[in-house]
Amino acid sequence: MNRIFTAILSILIIVGCTKVAGNDLLWLADSEPSVSCKVIVDPSLDLKNDGYIIEGSPAERTIKAKTQVGALYGSYALQRLQAMGKAEGRIYIKEEPAYERRILNHWDNLDNTVERGYAGWSIWHWGEPVPTDLILDYARLNASIGINGSVLNNVNATPEILRHDNLERVAQIADIMRPYGIKVYLSVNFSSPAALGGLENSDPLVPQVRQWWKDKVSEIYELIPDFGGFLVKANSEGLPGPQDYGRTHADGANMLAEALEPHGGIVMWRAFVYSPKSPDRANQACEEFTPLDGQFKDNVLIQIKNGPVDFQPREPFSPLFGRMPQTQLMAEMQITQEYLGFSNHLVYLHPLFKECLDSDTFCDGKGSTVAAVTTGKIQPDVYKTTAIAGVANIGRDSNWCGHEFAQSSWYAFGRMAWDPSLTSEEIAREWLTQTFTDKKQFIEPVLDMMLTSREAAVDYMMPLGFHHLFAWEHHYGPEPWCEIEGARADWLPKYYHKADAEGVGFDRTAAGSGNVLQYHEPLASIYNDLETCPENLLLWFHHVPWTHKMKSGLTLWEEICLHYDRGIKKVQEYRNIWTAAKPYVDAERWETVNAKLAIQEHDARWWRDACVQYFGEFSGLPVPENLEQPQRPLPELKKIKLNMKHHN
């Protein structure tokens, strides 16, 4: 039977908050919406998950939902519609989330450092009093864009996260976020039974090990009844895993799934694996996981990075998305800008995310996009749940993300996880309007800046399929010449660019590493042929002669130089746009962004100077005279070594 949600006043207070305490510059900041309307929570409604209906005219508007959280989402949606000027007159809107679980992965450590974090220390304040107000603000912001899960700690997990005192703290955090529909998850270290529990080993087929995990999971659920589950990085980059005992990824994941299953928890098992023995790091995930298709329990999802290597400015989608039809798969995006200029560069990441989700795997014919696969549309009988993950860019900085515009990628991830069909322009326009102003003179040029920023970054960093040319360890700035004694080959740029006097690029054709064969037709043939391969992935799949004629009529070398030059010019254009935007932005935010854009232009030139001079040593060709010439000599650039082990 329909009933009026008795806690309507609480919803209105939450949605109507006009400031985020101590951090008042986000998309909820300056709106004072009037959302005085009837809210009906009715479990019998024909809605999936936490969907909602908004209907009626302003005078008699109603929000309907099956759950209280759904009603909260509907209230935030109405606020957004009002801010965008789309709530006038009679409306009927029915929305349901495309993914059941929309999760942020925090790579936060117990010492409060954040791996690949560029916005200050961990917001969880490990070892300090629980920051209730800060976590409330975090929960509100996430609920406003539909995010409903948070993995609190680093995938490079330590066993100590499962100590009882730490679990009690996790329970406190869960209690704060629960009213906003956010479940907590934890990353776990596979060797915890031995390292924390004192067992002889952590072999997943040993009964005592399995029992240890069951007992630990029961302990967690006693503290956190709605605990979401575990995220696991195993047998990757030196971390322990089931292969240490001659077992498979399925053996390890299923052991944890068995412990979580009675409580409704899930396992998100990362596919980020690569062995130094593999001829191509891009091949490794498929090599290890496709033989295990169909062997995972129903509460296991394989979490796959968007591309086959590692969050590069541009990669093709991971072929694994099209190779495990009997296994639940989920995408992992990186919101934090590990490879895109940290929090110094303005790079709106939704175009990158959408490029992956819209990619057609052809695993079940045309239209089998990554989004269609991971939302369960291709194999609905296989998917008992669906999920998507984003590696968070959040810290204690006053603007949360280190760069005012980095907030937009957090916002975009949440909106995309709810509705993958939204365009980059729609989401960026929402964020700009709610965060700054609705003035067209501001919105239109700054919107163009956001929408072109990812491509500009690719141009001035690694155009045409270049990848992994970054500085050692911290990944800030160029170092295509990097040599580290004793380092694995696939941790070094030369493994990827393979530049020589003849040409440049990684041969992943059928005659090379065979990576193209992991894709379904027609992609395998398209990528395999130098003439049909998309030029923005050319050097990813082919070793190309410097004098190869591109579609523009330029040689490859000329095209490379042109892209670097174009990237710099684009950032110069952004600086002019931001100067013109000054009347529409408060002084503090304008100055902050302006200073960051100056750094971004400097870095773009640094990338150009380093890469065109370095690769010019192989090509033996000059930078075309019609382009700006390098400004800093290569020997000087090779001396740059930045001490950036921790990024806080």
3-state secondary structure 444-497: HHHHHHHHHHHHHHHHHHCHHHCCCCECCCCCCCECCCCCCCCCCHHHCHHHHH
For residues 529 and 385, what is the distance between their CA atoms, to the nearest angstrom?
38
Whether 189 shows a pLDDT value over 80: the answer reads yes
Per-residue pLDDT tens for 273-314? 987 778 899 999 999 999 999 999 999 999 999 999 999 999
Residue type, 219: E
User: Is the Cβ–Cβ distance between 647 and 474 less than 8 Å?
Assistant: yes
For residues 445 and 110, what is the distance between their CA atoms, to the nearest angstrom?
42
310 is catalytic: yes
pLDDT of residue 28: 85
| Catalytic residue chosen out of the listed positions 338, 490, 601, 609 | 338
CA 580 to chain centre: 31
448 is catalytic: no
Residues in the chain: 648
Q: In terms of pTM, does the model score above 0.75?
A: yes
Calculate mean pLDDT across residues 106-129.
97
Contacts of 92 (CB under 8 A, 6+ apart): 53, 54, 55
User: Is the Cβ–Cβ distance between 39 and 5 less than 8 Å?
Assistant: yes
Task: Kindly report the number of other CB atoms within 10 A of residue 218's CB atom.
Answer: 12
Calculate mean pLDDT across residues 371-383.
98
Contacts of 404 (CB under 8 A, 6+ apart): 25, 435, 589, 592, 593
For residues 480 and 505, what is the distance between their CA atoms, to the nearest angstrom?
12
Whether 175 shows a pLDDT value over 60: the answer reads yes
User: Is the Cβ–Cβ distance between 109 and 647 less than 8 Å?
Assistant: no
Mean pLDDT value across the chain = 94
Tokens 């984003």 belong to residue: 390
Calculate mean pLDDT across residues 549-558.
98
User: Is the Cβ–Cβ distance between 316 and 322 less than 8 Å?
Assistant: no
pLDDT of residue 14: 32
Cis peptide before 522 (omega within 30 of 0): yes
Calculate mean pLDDT across residues 405-416.
98
For residues 340 and 454, what is the distance between their CA atoms, to the nearest angstrom?
9
| Catalytic residue chosen out of the listed positions 88, 111, 237, 500 | 237
The helix-helix angle for 132-144 and 68-83 (nearest 10°) equals 70
Calculate mean pLDDT across residues 437-457.
98
Whether 9 shows a pLDDT value over 50: the answer reads no
User: How is 40-56 classified by DSSP, letter by letter?
Assistant: EE-TTSS--TT-EEEEE
Confidence of residue 644 (pLDDT cuts 50, 70, 90): confident
Whether 648 shows a pLDDT value over 60: the answer reads no
* CA-to-CA separations, 52 to 47, 68, 98, 362, in angstroms, rounded: 7, 10, 13, 33
Residue type, 49: N
pLDDT of residue 279: 87
Whether 132 shows a pLDDT value over 70: the answer reads yes
| Catalytic residue chosen out of the listed positions 50, 100, 137, 310 | 310
558 is catalytic: no
Closest CA to 316 of 567, 103, 107, 520: 520
Closest CA to 114 of 129, 128, 125: 125
Q: Tell me phi and psi for residue 129, to 5 degrees.
A: -55, 140
pLDDT of residue 646: 62
pLDDT of residue 29: 56
Per-residue pLDDT tens for 528-544? 999 999 999 999 999 99
Tokens 């400031």 belong to residue: 19
Per-residue pLDDT tens for 15-65? 333 223 334 548 885 443 357 789 999 999 999 989 999 999 999 999 999
Per-residue pLDDT tens for 242-256? 999 999 999 999 999
Calculate mean pLDDT across residues 575-584.
98
Closest CA to 347 of 319, 316, 311, 318: 311
Q: Mapping DSSP to helix (H, G, I), strand (E, B) and coil, where does residue 321 land?
A: helix
Confidence of residue 647 (pLDDT cuts 50, 70, 90): low
Q: Three-state secondary structure along 590-627?
A: HHHHHHHHHHHHHHHHHHHHHHHHHHHHHHCCCCCCCC
Q: Mapping DSSP to helix (H, G, I), strand (E, B) and coil, where does residue 73 land?
A: helix
Q: Give the H/E segment covering residue 331.
A: strand 329-334
Going along the chain from its start, the domains and CATH numbers come out as 8-95 (3.30.379.10), 101-423 (3.20.20.80), 460-506+543-638 (3.90.1330.10)
Calculate mean pLDDT across residues 321-345.
98
Per-residue pLDDT tens for 64-105? 999 999 999 999 999 999 999 999 999 999 999 999 999 999
Whether 627 shows a pLDDT value over 50: the answer reads yes
